[in-house]
Chain A
Amino acid sequence: MTTLTMTRLDPQSRAARRGMSDISIRNLFIIPTILFLIIFNIFPLLYSLYYSFTDFRASTNAPANWVGLANYRELLNDPFIWTNFTITAKYVIVSVAGQVVVGFGVAMLLNRDIPFKGLITTLLLLPMMLSMAVVGLFWKLLYDPSFGIINYVLGLGRFEWLSDPDMALYAVAITDIWMWSPFVMLLSLAGLSAVPKHLYEAAAIDRAGPLYTFFRITLPLVAPILMIAIIFRTMEAFKTFDIAYIMTSQPTTEMIAIRLYKMAFQEWQTGMSCAFAYIVLIMVVAITNIYVKYLNKVKER
């Protein structure tokens, strides 16, 4: 099939003179990619699926015993795991909602003729380009109760952002909002500038007020691209590890990725953690599917 649609190799070309056919050139480009995918993605995926049904521990030489669904049963009955899921859900909701509100709001502000618009946009995108670990480390300094600038500016005295068990998760979420709002802003800005100007003129002629115009014209037309931003950010927030791991070690901030890390590389329960990873994978796929369904519904219009 593919060979039928392929353009024939020019017989005068250098490749042809070296005795290469167009099929061999195709293989030259595609096979490395496929090999890479198989070795680093597909093989580990299947390998860990197998381990998730065993009691394998990578720290010992003991052979892996087949235990069937025991790992999954144990995990789903473990109340501590459910606490991790609750924490993660709370974090995802706060962080993604915050990013959408801040990002979309800033995009609305930027979506007009202002001086230095390009420069401002570029500067606002900077947080996104930093490394997660770096962001976590210097926000730890900003939050510091004794010399952190946040307490100084807000006049909060010695407020414990990261060691207060009730506050720590929100402190991490705020950092995440700071870092990733620009991403939502960038996509929203693309969506906003794609709304034709004449629709706003038509709405003005139709005597629609600013709020009515926003909710009936702007928001519905930006919704599809905003939805894509939300899908990306939800998936990312769901698997958050580095920021939270670096900034704090409260039990109230132990999200599933951290729990998974501890299970796999501190407790060496390799089989069990593989099963856990699969549960997380299924959940992420499920959530993404809901979003994509909704996105398709929005896009139909």
Chain B
Amino acid sequence: MTTEIELRNIQKWFGSNQVIKDFNLTIAPHEFIVMLGQSGCGKTTTLRAIAGLETIDDGDILIDGEPVQHLKCSDRDIAMVFQSFSLYPHMTVYENIAFPLRATRMGKADIDKAVKEIARILQISDLLDKRPSALSGGDMQRVAIGRALVRQPKAMLMDEPIGALDAKLREQMRAEIKRLHVKQGSTTVYVTHDQVEAMSLADRIVIMHDGKLQQVGRPEEVYLHPANLFVAQFVGSPVMNVADIDIGTADSATEIRLQGSEKGFAFGDAALTGIRRDAPVALGIRPEAVLLSHSKSNDHLSAVTTNIEPLGSHDIVDVKIGGQTLRARTESGFVAGEGQEVWVNLDPEQAHFFDRESGLSLRKAQ
């Protein structure tokens, strides 16, 4: 199962609405790709186009170098796990898993062997005689995955496969999908809107917005070096702070002033290389790079806390500087309550700068 999938200049319209805009992506063999985006961004449509459930208006889909965009899904040999599970309600678990093998007229003994083997891997051997209606959500999903894996397809597509499960089960199934992928190593494309799922599962994350590919990269790459404002604000929880800033000088040092604030943060010139001073710039800074302190010092700015979210392992504290609010991540209990004065500094190493007009990161080169 060393399948390579390549998408070249995919275009897709629904009426006058273009849902996939010039999409290019090469998926390496054994790779686990997660397509991440809000609902309606075109990620599911792209997945269905790879599967053959959706036609494309322009471009090429290549599987192992062969163009397949004109083939029916049955000729592409790709398995898919649906969000709604799509188990056959009138068949037992065994018959569900055996369905793709029976449909291609495989021998009875071989089918039995394959089904039992996959049931053993997925730990559903004792459910084989039950009907889907008697299963829990997690077991239904296991059966759906089993049905997809049993015929050893060229590639596996998953459309929000655990989106319908409750939070605890989702975590468990996430680990299981990862374990299965490590074991089976099939090329996998996984669609989700949940960035935690994406970060934890993906070899590479593909972020889509409004039908356009925004960034492709390893999870840490996407997190540490977002290509644009959309990616910056979509990946990471809590969301990255974005503030309009002015870059100026004070006491011969470069300074970053949040708009509406009189004083600024001293940033070394090194942190600002290559950033134009004349265009409107937005600062992006993750909550963990907003540093709070109880003691006054010269490079810190005074601020007032406005809101505290205690999350157990850490707190999220909102501080107001000038007219703008920054969210900071602190150890739990660091700030006692709202309305307190704290001292704020930013970590220049972890600061991102974006062009306000295009939204593009100004330090893409790094």
Contact = CB atoms under 8 A, between A and B. Distances in A.
A75 interface: no
Given A221-B90, A301-B90, A204 B74 contact: yes
A208 B74 contact: yes
B74 A202 contact: no
Contacts of A214: none
Contacts of B87: 202
A206 B82 contact: no
A258 to B, nearest CB: 42
Interface residues of A, number: 18
Interface stretch (B10-18, B96-104, B160-168, B252-260): B96-104
Main secondary structure of the interface of A (DSSP, over half): helix
Interface residues on B, range: 20 to 34
A207 B84 contact: no
B88 interface: yes
Given A301-B90, A301-B131, A205 B80 contact: yes
A236 interface: no
A207 B148 CA distance: 11
Contacts of A205: 51, 53, 73-74, 78-80, 148
Given A204-B53, A208-B74, A221 B89 contact: yes
A221 B80 CA distance: 22
A199 B88 contact: yes
B86 A216 contact: no
B204 interface: no
B179 interface: no
A143 B213 CA distance: 68
B194 interface: no
A198 B53 CA distance: 10
B90 A220 contact: yes
B104 A207 contact: yes
A212 B89 CA distance: 16
B99 A216 contact: yes
Nearest to B80: A205
B156 to A, nearest CB: 11
A217 B102 CA distance: 13
A205 B154 CA distance: 12
A79 interface: no
A217 B103 CA distance: 11
Contacts of A221: 89-90
A164 interface: no
B77 A207 contact: yes
Contact of A201 (B77, B78, B79, B82): B82
Contacts of A202: 80, 82, 86-88
A214 to B, nearest CB: 12
Contacts of B82: 198, 201-202
B89 A301 contact: yes
Given A198-B82, A201-B53, A202-B82, A208 B103 contact: yes
A199 B151 CA distance: 18
Residue of A198, A202, A205, A217 ringed by the most chain B CB atoms within 10 A? A205
Nearest to A300: B131
A38 B267 CA distance: 96
Contacts of A208: 74, 99-100, 103
B72 interface: yes
A212 B151 CA distance: 17
Nearest to B74: A207
Interface in A185-213: 196, 198-199, 201-209, 212
A212 B103 contact: yes
Given A204-B52, A208-B74, A220-B90, 19 more contacts: A196-B84, A198-B86, A199-B86, A201-B53, A202-B82, A204-B53, A204-B73, A205-B51, A205-B53, A206-B79, A206-B99, A206-B100, A206-B147, A207-B77, A207-B100, A209-B74, A217-B88, A221-B90, A301-B131
16 contacts: A196-B84, A196-B86, A198-B84, A202-B86, A202-B87, A204-B53, A204-B72, A205-B53, A205-B73, A205-B78, A205-B80, A207-B73, A208-B100, A220-B90, A221-B89, A301-B90
Q: Sorted from nearest, which 5 A-B pairs have the closest CB atoms? A: A208-B103, A206-B100, A202-B86, A207-B74, A301-B90
